[in-house]
Amino acid sequence: GVLKAQRALRRASDRLKLLMNDPTLPVGSERLLLPTDDALDEPLAYSLVDEIETAIEHRPEVDTALLDIDDASIRSVVAENGVLPRLDLRVQAAMRGLEEYAGRAYGEIAQNEFLDDFLVGLFFEQPVGNRGPEAEYRRRRLERMRSVIAYRRVVQGIVLEVKNALDDVVTNYRLIDQARAGRIAAAESVRTLLVEKKLTNTGYTVERLNVELTRQDALAAAERAEVRALIDYNTAIARLHRATGTTLERNRINFVVPDTNQLEPFERSDMIGREELVR
């Protein structure tokens, strides 16, 4: 059990170093990352409505869905313009240069000495049948409807995720009390047995030793269950922050995307290479 726990600790530390991507903490190093604080066991007050509003405000999926709706709306307007009749105002004028040499002729054109062939007209175009633009317009309208439905699904999915995460927080906090009560009961059982053995002074027998070992094992299991309940409670809180999109803010982490001029030369060349591959 201890060896497996140590292995799990090393693997968790390596996964965290991989996520951090810190040059001072490479994944290949043997340095272990340990928490500096204890697991939280205090109740926290949350409001479902407030958490949902926070999630809709901070989750990037909502912004992406709204941008998709705007993009589909623009495409729908452009397609609608293709269905409408067309009326154009055209103005045409010709400039002439009449000289013996080409250079002088171009000079007269630049000076607007000879203007000719003025033409002003209105051109009206009414498509007959117009099946292609109408089909394109219907397709764009359907795409916009699909983007609106996708937005609703995103919002509903976020609401469900926040609701489930908040329910996990409440449930896991209640499980802490149950696990703690079980640990106290197991400790009291062991203490009672030790006091009884001290008062009777009967020494060890096979049956008594078996009972004592069984109760000590039950106490150890109860302590592990309490620790697991604390871990589950803190994990549920972290998942709630992830569901609301506030994990970085609560941990005071600023995500800054550098400009091209702020990158190192080798990073800039890698970015240019990736852009060329995309093209």
* Runs of H (alpha helix) within the chain: 2-20, 48-58, 60-83, 102-110, 131-200, 206-244, 247-250, 265-278
pLDDT per position as a tens digit, 3-55: 998 899 899 999 999 988 888 888 888 889 888 878 888 888 888 999 999 99
Domain extent listing, the chain: 1-32, 87-125
Q: Are 92 and 177 in contact (CB under 8 A)?
A: no
How confident is the model over 195-242, as pLDDT tens digits? 887 777 766 677 778 888 888 999 999 999 999 999 999 999 999 999
User: Tell me, what's the pLDDT at 273?
Assistant: 47
Tell me how many degrees the CA angle 272-276-279 measures, rounded to the nearest 5: 140
pTM of the predicted model as reported, rounded to 2 decimal places = 0.69
Using the structure block, give the residue that is written with the tokens 């397609």: 79
Cβ pair 108, 97 in contact under 8 A: yes
Separation of alpha carbons 155 and 55, rounded Å: 9
pLDDT digits (tens, 9 = 90+) for 50-92: 999 999 999 999 999 999 999 999 999 988 888 888 788 888 7
pLDDT of 67 reads: 94
Q: How much is the pLDDT for 274? A: 46
Residue-wise pLDDT tens digits, 242-265: 999 988 887 777 777 666 666 656
| Structure confidence at residue 41 (pLDDT) | 82
Longest dimension (CA), the chain: 136
Give the mean pLDDT of the chain. 83
